[in-house]
Amino acid sequence: MPNKLIFKAETLTPVIQDVKKNACELWFLADDGIYLTASTATFIRKKRNICYAEGFDPDLWDDAGAHFDAIDSVLGNGDMWESVNLQPEMLDALMTGRTDLAIEVTDSGFIFTARQRDAEEKSC
């Protein structure tokens, strides 16, 4: 059964701004959380600008073992580092601050969908 990850516009937009401003790659990672970041990211208070998937920010978990089990249940075992190439139209939609990104995890890969709030979805 596929799993869906949601990246909220409030924390996603600054990451997409980094991707566009720096003409760099978008990275989709899983290690101590599931998150997106720009390959050339802005650093705020010496921390890389990242966007965690809803429910996968390690700072919000009291039980590290349960957190890693949750990551494994969505993505399978092990760490992940994928370079993501989104279409320019999707990047533009994600820059508005009103569009979330959904990533559906399937047996054959990932499906990225921009989910504009109060509007229709756009897939890439």
pLDDT of residue 3: 87
123 confidence band (pLDDT: 50, 70, 90)? low
Measured CA to CA, the distance from residue 85 to residue 120 in angstroms comes to 21
Give the pLDDT confidence of 3-31 residue by residue, as tens digits: 899 999 999 999 999 999 999 999 999 99
120 confidence band (pLDDT: 50, 70, 90)? low
Question: Is the pLDDT at 118 greater than 80, yes or no?
Answer: no
Cβ neighbours for 118, distance < 8 A, ≥ 6 positions apart: none
pLDDT of residue 77: 72
Provide mean pLDDT across the span 28-36. 94
From the CB of residue 85, how many other CB atoms can be counted at a distance below 10 Å? Answer: 9
Structure tokens at 85: 């190439």
Provide mean pLDDT across the span 30-58. 92
pLDDT of residue 42: 87
pTM for the model: 0.87
Phi, psi of 93 (to 5 degrees): -65, -40
Sorted by where each begins, the domain ranges of the chain are: 3-123
Measured CA to CA, the distance from residue 17 to residue 97 in angstroms comes to 10
Give the pLDDT confidence of 71-117 residue by residue, as tens digits: 998 988 768 899 998 998 999 999 888 899 999 998 888 999 998 87
